[in-house]
A and B are shown apart, each in its own frame.
Chain A
């Protein structure tokens, strides 16, 4: 990581990560916590590493603030002002002060969400007081400030916490394939059935995600496409389209388990951002013959 010349106090600074403009007097962006005096780390292929974040970096959200603590499994420690609130899946709560009131937030489409294995309840917390969140895997914390009119699609179970100003909905992934074993047909959803959709309508909000391992982001040009492992996807802009891609490596002989002879990919096509995590689960594939699938491309080598 190469250092840029120090930022002169009094001059405004635009954060490379979230685009927020600050006065440049702090070492980190007050909107997302990214360290402000370092250059982006970009691979030759165009993947941008998550910006470095100094331990104890502080984000300001209206009258409330959030401090990011620790490096291996970072914790997000919110200091909520009265009337300010956040929501979260309840198993990510690390600790809280007695003064913070927590209640249940019901979700639209609960039956569909339950059927899809998504959380049907969100827990919400109201200030004043401190409340902290973390997950149970080593990785990085992504701060995504959302401006009014901005939305992002997030793979399920990545949400750590969002401020009350962020609307929470969901959208169908339409990524699936069927396999048949005898008379039994099984449907597979490599991305899950739904993606969480977070958006800000009238007020800016903050979305915090936790990903496993390291996080890389890429901006895809219109029509540009790339193949990624489905389970590596963290989030994408709603403008990014997705479909399955089956790749069959060349082989001079057939093996009895056909999955050895196919790779399952997710084709993402710009315009827009995508983010991936370096520690991802294996893609579920039972190796049986695929009988039907969502729109897909294929490559036979």
Chain B
């Protein structure tokens, strides 16, 4: 993967989204595609919109490229170089060159994954050739270049693709109440980089917002809106009792996320019925 240079700040532009360094003349980040000519869009409450990728934006990972096509349900078209690879859930594949070889990723804990309703088979595409991906609803592509030593937890079935050098595992959600009422299932996908950077693409439904939580800072989120978080962010279920005299009331489960670290949410959430 092309490494962002850290010591050329004078001649280079730093991407606010992924921290990658770019040529001063660049209009979009070469590592994540974020527009470099636009300011961050941040709400007064501190949520930052995921960068809106311009149609046909291209960015690079290793010797391969990714072009983002369309804006309502964007497509990620990958031009894989020889020796490069990506993995993904097979139902997100939109089209491919017939010559692109396909294999299957060997996953530990197969039975657990089946029981948890997680994808049992993760497909792998190897270059050279082109292969394109999209999901099934209006939303945004979230490009997350992972720097060495990072761990990111992602809502199950939300990832679009990842570069082959990222380790894919799953993290069991702790606590029966979290499993039953958390709305995330039993497991979250966990993506880990060792000593090399990698590329992770998610598809968030609706609009995607990110917030950086300070140590101990917490916020309550609709469980179906949770999209991703740094592994340092804790997540627990908090039940909100809502009562009235006549009908006894109801309860609402919200996910309490506690910093430090990033948390990402999607505005078109997956709705989970409450009690």
Contact = CB atoms under 8 A, between A and B. Distances in A.
Interface of A: 55-56, 58, 65, 67, 69-75, 77, 79, 90-91, 93-98, 102-104, 106, 110, 120-121, 123, 130, 132, 134-138
Contacts of A77: 43-45, 47
15 contacts: A70-B49, A70-B209, A72-B140, A72-B267, A73-B268, A74-B207, A79-B45, A90-B242, A94-B267, A95-B222, A102-B242, A104-B244, A121-B249, A134-B268, A135-B268
A56 B268 contact: no
Interface of B: 41, 43-45, 47, 49, 72, 137-140, 205-207, 209, 218-222, 224-225, 240, 242-247, 249-250, 252, 254, 265, 267-271, 274
Contact of A104 (B41, B72, B221, B249): B249
Given A69-B209, A95-B265, A104-B249, 5 more contacts: A69-B267, A73-B267, A77-B44, A94-B221, A94-B222
A138 B138 contact: yes
B222 A72 contact: no
Q: Is the interface of B mostly helix, strand, loop or mixed?
A: loop
B192 to A, nearest CB: 27
A78 B251 CA distance: 22
B220 A96 contact: yes
Contacts of A134: 206, 225, 267-269
Contacts of A74: 207, 267
Contacts of A67: 43-45
Given A95-B220, A132-B45, A102 B240 contact: yes
B205 to A, nearest CB: 7
B267 A121 contact: no
A135 B206 CA distance: 9
Contact of B268 (A69, A97, A98, A138): A138
A218 B218 CA distance: 45
